[in-house]
Structure 1
Amino acid sequence: MIWQISVALIAVAFVVLVVFLVRTLQSAQKSLNQTTETLQEIKETVNDLSTEIKGVVRQANDITGDLQHKMEQIDPVLESVKNVGEVLNEVTLAAKQVSTALIDRMKNSPRAARRARRAETETPQAPVAPPAPEPPAALPAGPADKPTGWVKWVDVAASVWQKYRS
């Protein structure tokens, strides 16, 4: 009789084990089905995105080509701006040289030399009466009396400036 009870218990345990095993397998099958469906959806999404990405890449290539074309058109303008900057730099240097030369010429003129000599000969203890001004005709003809040299530079600078502005 123990044999029969033992065999019955083993049979019942086996049936319970099979039932739980069947439930586990059914649950695993549902999970696999859901995974398959999800993978199908992902595949469709990736296909849709790949076509959109291809379109975006084409547009980016078109935009890049357009920008390159426009940059090639702008290059001469930028070169002209560079040339204008160099010309302005040269005009500025010429104006600086002219003004420096004019100031040096005015400092080295005979009037300035006479004033410097007078200032050196004057003594601070004995006030000296200021000398009478000389008439303009009595002034010696010097380089300051010939404005043609620096006037030419001013004329050149003015003409360059007018050409630049027009």
Structure 2
Amino acid sequence: MIIDISIAVIAIAFAVLVVFLVKVLLAAKDSLDNVSATLKDVQKTMEELTYEVKQTIRTVNDITANVDHKLKQVDPVVDSVNNLGIVLSEVTEVVKELTFKTKEVTGAVFERMKSTGSHHESAENPHGMVKASTPEDRTLQSYAATYGGKQGAWMNVVDIAANIWQRMRKSPSR
């Protein structure tokens, strides 16, 4: 009889175990169904995203090509601005040198005019001009003889500036 009771208890326990296992398996099936549905949704979303990402990449490539084209069009302008900067720098240097040389030449010419004007005044040279040795000096003397006085001095300054300019143009450049 103990054996019969033991077999009955084992049978009942086995039946309870099977019932719980069936419930667990049904819950697992529901979970797997949910996971399967979720995976289908993810796959569909991934396909949509893949299409959109491809479209975005194509658009970015088009924009990049467009920007590259525009940059190539702007390159000559940038080069021109760079060249302009170099030229302006060189012009500034030339103007500095010209100004320095002009000051030197002007100072020397005025000193020469001062010193020769006070030593050589005579009846044949009433304006204190040096005897003309170059065409520029003769031009200066002709203005002094023609206009005399303050107006002649003004013309002297203009002629000296013109003379300096001509000498600077004729001097060898760098």
Shorter-normalised TM-score: what interval? 0.5 to 0.7
| Equivalent in the alignment of 2:62 | 62
Are 1:79 and 2:84 counterparts? no
Cα pair distance change 1:19/1:149, threshold 3 Å: farther
8 Å contact kept, 1:102–1:150: yes
CA RMSD, 1 decimal: 3.2
Cα distance between partner residues in 2 of 1:66 and 1:55 = 16
Partner of 2:8: 8
Question: How many Å apart are 1:108 and its aligned residue?
Answer: 5.4
Distance in 2, Cα, partners of 1:81 & 1:10: 99
Quote the Cα distance in structure 1 between the aligned partners of 2:164 and 2:106: 12
2:151 is equivalent to residue 151 of structure 1: no
Q: 1:140: Cα distance to partner?
A: 6.3
Per-residue displacement from partner, 1:53-109 (whole Å, max 9, x unpaired)? 111111111111111221222122222212221221121111111112233345656
3-state DSSP of counterpart to 2:3: helix
Q: 1:37 to 1:149 in 2, by over 3 A?
A: farther
Structure-1 separation of matches of 2:15 and 2:167: 118
Give the 3 Å change call, closer, same or farther, for CA 149–84 of structure 1 in structure 2.
farther
8 Å CA contact 1:98–1:150 kept in 2: the answer is no
Q: How far off its partner does 1:150 sit?
A: 3.8
Amino acid paired to 1:27: A
Q: Structure with the greater relative contact order (CA < 8 A, sep ≥ 6): 1 or 2?
A: 1
Question: Is the CA contact (8 Å cut-off) linking 1:98 and 1:153 kept in structure 2?
Answer: no
What is the TM-score when the length of structure 2 is the normalising length? 0.64
SS at match of 1:63: helix
| Alignment: residue pair count | 135
Question: What pairs with 1:1-166 in structure 2 (closer than 5 Å)?
Answer: 1-105=1-105, 111=111, 137-138=127-128, 146-152=160-166
Report SS of the residue matched to 1:38: helix
Distance 1:30 1:68, change over 3 A: same
Separation (CA, whole Å) in 1 of partners of 2:46 and 2:55: 14
Q: Structure 1 residues 96, 40: CA separation in 2 closer, same or farther (over 3 Å shift)?
A: same
Secondary structure in 2 matching 1:147: helix
Q: Which amino acid aligns with 2:16?
A: V
d(CA) in 2 for partners of 1:3, 1:65:
89
TM-score (norm 1): 0.67
One-letter amino acid matched to 2:165: V
Is the CA contact (8 Å cut-off) linking 2:106 and 2:160 kept in structure 1?
Answer: no
Q: Separation in 1 of the partners of 2:33 and 2:105? A: 102
Whole-angstrom distance in 2 between the partners of 1:102 and 1:12: 125
